[in-house]
A = this chain, B = another copy of it.
């Protein structure tokens, strides 16, 4: 007991300074118990993907997701379960098809990119002009592009860290703006992904620099490769493209928040999160039902073990996919309040292989304790000066402390933003490893977990 009091006193005087860390034995026991038998994360992932399905930001499906979340987090025994709503502009998908008319008539599989303009139900027809990168498109004279349908190819390869998503995502993120400014009729890109299935990868893009929105879609990877083979024949290729997208105006989204109250509510909380919304093609299992599930499961396991010194705040962010609206809303409302650490899980649920942290020099012992607690799970300690996350990214950039747990992303971009992001892609054993790692991190940061007093028996 003394240990917990000491930690509380220390924390009260200097909330962001070093605090007492639970014993390696206590942390190890919590970690191993999660590894052996956690079912909370599976229950949430299975429940959310089955009972809600896809959760496109700002739509009634995301609203159902929030309702489900409030009910679930309440049933799990968390406190202060609430929704913090915010408004946002909403884009929705409609009918879509891509048909090669000449020289070799055939249908291709396409999905509109988020914020694509509509072709109208009748579609548009144009000649394909192909580039192997955004830079090549940029370098082309406008006359080569004007009135045509731009096709951008690329070769994204799987990586463990997912590093390729930045570079190879450029055709999706910047391609539409560049194509529009050169007068293109429309653009289709090779899906930003690493699979070979007829499932296109959706994803958001925005038209910048005053570019007029044009229809913009992603071909599935086998279709993009087929396009490359057809183009290689050297004959003009014409495509009929239908992308009936719609901007439906301002709608409500929201962040769902729940807490494990700390013994000292005056202390800055630990934020653990993921995002509740998903793209609309799959059921958002790896992106990001498993993320919200891992965060809540770890918090629940700490709560089951006793009362942490400081509050653990679960945040299931809304509207991440379409522009970090939830993260930015939380930041606007709470970003100036002190937080002890920010953590977000948004890279699937395959095995965590690396931990990074940005807790500051004074808290090096905590960062080291995290490394020691995770090593038995095969997790290597990376940086002490970096952490990342999507919704929490802007707040980390603001200087708030954080911890980052990196999942193995080797197969993440096989499913990312596709119809294939479904529950069967979650490996229950690896999901438990995630929960074990998160539980260990929360235990280290908790300030000490006080076991519940036994009720007196009469």
On A, residues with C-beta under 8 Å from B are 46, 49-54, 61, 64, 103-107, 109, 196-199, 221-222, 225-226, 229-230, 233, 282-283, 418-420, 422-425
Contacts and interface: CB of A to CB of B under 8 A. Distances in A.
A66 to B, nearest CB: 15
A422 B53 contact: no
A226 B422 contact: yes
- For the complex of A and B, 5 pairs with smallest distance between CB atoms: A53-B106, A198-B419, A222-B422, A196-B424, A50-B229
A111 to B, nearest CB: 12
A50 B420 CA distance: 25
A147 to B, nearest CB: 26
Contacts of A105: 53, 61, 64
Contacts of A103: 51
B226 A419 contact: no
Contacts of A109: 419
A418 B419 CA distance: 15
A225 B52 contact: no
Contacts of A106: 52-54, 283
Contacts of A226: 49-50, 53, 283, 422-423
A199 B197 CA distance: 9
Contacts of A199: 197-199
A107 B52 CA distance: 11
A164 B11 CA distance: 64
A61 B106 CA distance: 9
Contacts of A283: 106, 226
* Max count, chain B CB within 10 A of own CB: residue among A197, A199, A233, A282: A197
Contacts of A230: 50
A59 to B, nearest CB: 11
A443 to B, nearest CB: 32
A422 B198 contact: yes
Contacts of A282: 198
A230 B51 CA distance: 7
A107 B61 CA distance: 12
